[in-house]
Chains A and B, each alone.
Chain A
Amino acid sequence: MYNNGYGASYHEQRLQQMMEQKQLRDFMRMYSNLVSRCFDDCVSDFNSNTLSDKELTCVNRCTLKNMKLNERIGQRFAEENAKLMEDQAKLGR
């Protein structure tokens, strides 16, 4: 352990904090994009101030679909990334 506060572990902690904050911010941004998109696609009738059943269903489906999309993209990305790393490793030899 380091005695002064600015040893390596301090920087590690700072880095970790910053990464966590960024993650939270990214999450919040994704969230508000999601609401924005689903509202755009599903809601167009402003003669009422509550969501109709149709709009409610639409928003639910929109959320689920977008979440599944994100998951699928994440999976494909991981797969392609792994392939890329493998190819690079092969070239390196």
Chain B
Amino acid sequence: MGIFSGSSSNSSGASASGGGSAAERKEEVKQQVRQELAMANAQELISNVNKHCVKMCIATPGTSLSGSDEACLSRCMDKYLASWDTVSRAYVARINQEKH
């Protein structure tokens, strides 16, 4: 499950151009909504990464980013995305647990 894809990424055949059945059209709309959400989600994610990592990595703003600043920011982003992934797994696991 990629970070920016919806949770059910196995929807097929949404690229039919002809007016398909109502079910197909509904699936197309769902797909579009998922993509728009993914975009908005990506923007918010990047904004959050920025906010947290600048707070944690850059103690006193200088005139430019030092090498260690850059390294810290890069690692911070990796860790943030890893956290995103972990939260995602834990969340889904919990939801599935409750279903059964």
Contacts A25-B37, A32-B48, A51-B83 supplied; 13 other A-B pairs, CB < 8 Å: A25-B40, A28-B41, A29-B44, A31-B87, A39-B52, A39-B83, A40-B52, A43-B79, A59-B83, A60-B86, A63-B87, A63-B94, A67-B94
Please give the number of chain B residues whose Cβ is less than 8 angstroms from any Cβ of chain A in the complex.
25
Q: Dominant SS at the B interface? A: helix
B90 touches A64 (CB 8 A): yes
CA distance A67 to B94 in the complex (A): 9
A43 contact set on B, CB distance < 8 A? 79-80, 83
Any chain B CB within 8 A of the CB of A48?
yes
A63 to B85 Cα, complex, angstroms: 11
B79: which of A25, A29, A50 is its contact (CB, 8 Å)? Answer: A50
Chain A neighbourhood of B44, CB < 8 A:
28-29, 32
Contact assessment for A46 and B91 in the assembled complex, using a CB-CB cutoff below 8 Å: no
Chain B, Cβ-Cβ closest to A51: B82
A3 at interface, CB cutoff 8 A? no
With A24-B33, A28-B37, A32-B45 known as contacts, the answer to whether A50 contacts B90 (CB < 8 A) is: no
- Closest Cβ of chain A to B42, distance in Å, is 11
